[in-house]
Structure 1
């Protein structure tokens, strides 16, 4: 039992997005992660597909929703406004769906040093063995068998895995897992504005790096003026980010049922009737009993400000 953190995970957005979530579940979106210190340039600016929540108590949500200002080094700054519409999901649901609290790191911490050194070294080794594999004298048919699994011929059988590919593949998996770990890290404080990100109490879930081919949703890194997959990108190729977004919708939606919802947050009283109406319009999603249950869980931002 916790006496500090909420038992609810909140996600805030805009009204139409709230209705979409109620209909189809949470859809991970590509978020640009500003670079952590100690990372090589190739790993500093990344886009990672994720869904974010916070476990702030109801009494602390107003500033999270509407933003707040602060002074830092003689300058006034304004925080992000996350939207006046949201869902409060049970923390049990979040744990079942493998969400995790973000790890906040300081620039000079041992944790960031260890994580950065590991990712940097794996990235160097991966690039080295990728080059070795490309130059490997192995027969092209065998190379294609391992490079393009979806095009494998059944009659060909399974050729022995070349040594260079074994090492290359293991490094690829290790690097993907290392980068996935970095996706759950965030600076404790913004070095430029002084904003303390730790106050957001963020939980998140990222798209797992398990589908290497069909349905793949890679993390992206900045190369020149475009974002490209860190693993397997080809110089000069333009990548269709919309294809990756479609794969998210096809394979990686985070669904729930009415019992998982603890709160529906709307901006004001005028939204309540419309949200209930649109719940009824969702095809085959909620029973009448479930909608009745959800209507009892609607709160307005005004109630959050005045009653909690």
Structure 2
């Protein structure tokens, strides 16, 4: 039985210069601001995208993303954590009302979390307690705490009152020398909650609308598209957590540049790459003339083996 998917992961681009850069530095993670219209939200992450489409069936894909291509083995992609995207719609469990509530709540709680500061998790867990007690006190869910609790009014007043009550409780524990044990127990519980929240966020990074308005990168044309047809696989680096990794200054620079520093690039070796497609024999010769062991990720012998043009017959 003939398979519907490709044996390889294809990355299409509209630029010969991009092919040269990938050959020298690997695939860089570029900033993506992706709309989920049914959830009224924008997901902002740094990603590298590939598609699981047979080259013979990729003409429509090439018209939007470009006719230059690199094909790599799926084994390479899996080892690098590159994962098939989950296509969702407004009734998918990922974006149920309950799911959106939990994500908003957790993002509010952890917005100032720093894993490199030992007291940070305790402060975050304290915020978790305050918000949960507030919801219990008013007997209703707070669906957008980052806005509702910061507005002057009764919610903000009660939230601060609970904070004062919690501080007084800790002072009472201090009188009996029990505050360190309390913090120890809270810290362990907080670590487990952090793991659960991380899992929730990870599912978002790999979610994409099944169908939505789409702007073709090559032509600039905007139209309704079944995005599911792209069969996307992607590597994702979450923008907000990377701020902790290499500092606010470099994070802001990455946002301005639209891509991450080279340390996050996806590198490959001879055994990983299957095909490189360029426009014509002139570009083939140019690429071959530039390659050497110091400036490119693969050997000249491998490049000669996988380099081809669009006019040549390509088989899976």
TM-score normalised to structure 1 length: 0.66
* 1:17 corresponds to 2:39: no
Q: Distance in 2 between matches of 1:307 and 1:22?
A: 22
Structure with the greater relative contact order (CA < 8 A, sep ≥ 6): 1 or 2?
2
Equivalent position to 1:180, from 180, 197, 202: 202
Residue in structure 2 matched with residue 46 of structure 1 by the alignment: 43
Report the CA distance shift for 1:295/1:163 in structure 2 as closer, same or farther (over 3 A). Answer: same
Residue in structure 2 matched with residue 3 of structure 1 by the alignment: 3
Mapping 1:182-261, distance limit 5 Å: 182-190=204-212, 193-207=223-237, 213-215=244-246, 240-242=252-254, 248-261=260-273
Report the CA distance shift for 1:127/1:90 in structure 2 as closer, same or farther (over 3 A). Answer: closer
Q: Is the 8 A contact 1:11 1:53 kept in 2?
A: yes
Deviation of 1:53 after TM superposition, in Å, equals 0.1
Secondary structure of the residue aligned to 1:302 is coil
- 1 or 2, which has the higher helix percentage? 2
Across the aligned residues of Structure 1 and Structure 2, the Cα RMSD in angstroms comes to 4.1
* 1:105 corresponds to 2:88: yes
Equivalent position to 2:311, from 297, 302, 308: 302
Q: Is the 8 A contact 2:31 2:255 kept in 1?
A: no
Q: Which ranges of 4 or more aligned residues in structure 1 deviate by more than 4 Å?
A: 124-139, 158-174, 208-212, 243-247
Q: Deviations over 1:82-110 (max 9, x none)?
A: 12222101111001111111111122233
Q: Distance in 2 between matches of 1:286 and 1:125?
A: 43
Report the CA distance shift for 1:109/1:285 in structure 2 as closer, same or farther (over 3 A). Answer: closer
Deviation of 1:119 after TM superposition, in Å, equals 1.8
Secondary structure of the residue aligned to 2:261 is helix
TM-score normalised to structure 2 length: 0.64
Number of corresponding residues: 249
Q: Distance in 2 between matches of 1:35 and 1:297?
A: 38
Report the CA distance shift for 1:59/1:38 in structure 2 as closer, same or farther (over 3 A). Answer: same
Q: Is the 8 A contact 1:35 1:45 kept in 2?
A: yes
Point out where structure 1 has 5 or more consecutive residues left out of the alignment: 67-80, 140-157, 218-236
Higher Cα radius of gyration: 2
